[in-house]
Amino acid sequence: MKYFEPHIHMVSRTTDDYQNMAAAGVIGVVEPAFWQGQPRTNVGTFIDYFDMLIGWERFRASQFGIRHYCTMGLNPKEANYKELAEEVMKVLPRYMAKDGVVAVGEIGYDDINPTEERFFAEQLEMAKEFELPVLVHTPHRDKVEGTKRTLALVKEIGIDPEMVVVDHLNEITIEMAIEAGVWTGHSVYPETKMSESRMIDILKRYGTNKMMVNSAADWGVSDPLKVPKVGTAMLQSGFTEQDVEKVLFANPINFFAQSGRISIEEVTRPLIDQTKLYEENSALRGQTPVVEK
């Protein structure tokens, strides 16, 4: 089976993770811009981070047989630093036009307050301007209220729900998302959020249309192999290989393909050439380069 990971924070992961993901059949990833665990203090740190997503990290993934795409945005947690957030909003448009940027995100609510809503709304407007899909983060606390307000704001801004994936959904919030017509995202974690068995139950109950599954793996307790593990669980529970490929490969690519910067045909496993450099730097540390023909 081949897999596409639509939400993973690879700057937090090691090269071993890329190797293990490739061995498990993952051939493409989308890395959303997000909070790095420690508050950033100036706009330059955001610029360096955004440059890393479209530069070094894309290169590093290719060195281990994985195609890398990303989304750009001001995440809700850092939107609460109002003065800094205003500076970040000024530089974001330049990244919305970059190759490999397939959506605005991840954006949304954290504390669910007016400041977060302001920058959430502004970025929804930016997505409309650049004709990009949107990846929305729903809050860890009061997820029901956050999801309700997310769907209300999407409607208020007037963005096509087909262009929106609402992520980190669960059994309580999925029905309102389906009714709103958005794509539905589910993060599978080792201990929290969604498990493989719960994901299987959701797919059996609601079907495979517009369903997306991710690991959302970052610097916390998470597992970058959760998408392939859901694939195995789907097969074991009676889903067909075609079902698995739809949910765990075609669906996310077709969603992000609305950006015009990714397609099913494009997402194939890249040939590895570890003799290549990025700005004179190698992803290797003395190892013999692998070169595939």
Q: Where are the alpha helices (DSSP H) in 171-225?
A: 174-180, 196-206
Per-residue confidence at 140, pLDDT binned at 50, 70, 90? Answer: confident
Distance separating alpha carbons of residues 49 and 56, to the nearest angstrom:
10
Q: Which two tokens stand for residue 126?
A: 């930016």
CB-based contact 8:61 (threshold 8 Å): no
What is the domain partition of the chain in residue ranges?
3-258
pLDDT for 286 equals 84
pLDDT for 112 equals 94
Q: Is the pLDDT of residue 87 over 90?
A: yes
Per-residue confidence at 243, pLDDT binned at 50, 70, 90? Answer: very high
Q: When comparing pLDDT for 184 and 293, which is higher?
A: 184
Per-residue confidence at 122, pLDDT binned at 50, 70, 90? Answer: very high
Q: Is the pLDDT of residue 194 over 90?
A: no
pLDDT for 199 equals 97
CB-based contact 185:7 (threshold 8 Å): yes
User: What number of H helices and E strands is found in the chain?
Assistant: 11, 8
Domain 3-258 CATH superfamily: Metal-dependent hydrolases (3.20.20.140)
pLDDT for 293 equals 87
Distance separating alpha carbons of residues 85 and 28, to the nearest angstrom:
30
pTM for this model (two decimals): 0.96
CB-based contact 70:101 (threshold 8 Å): yes
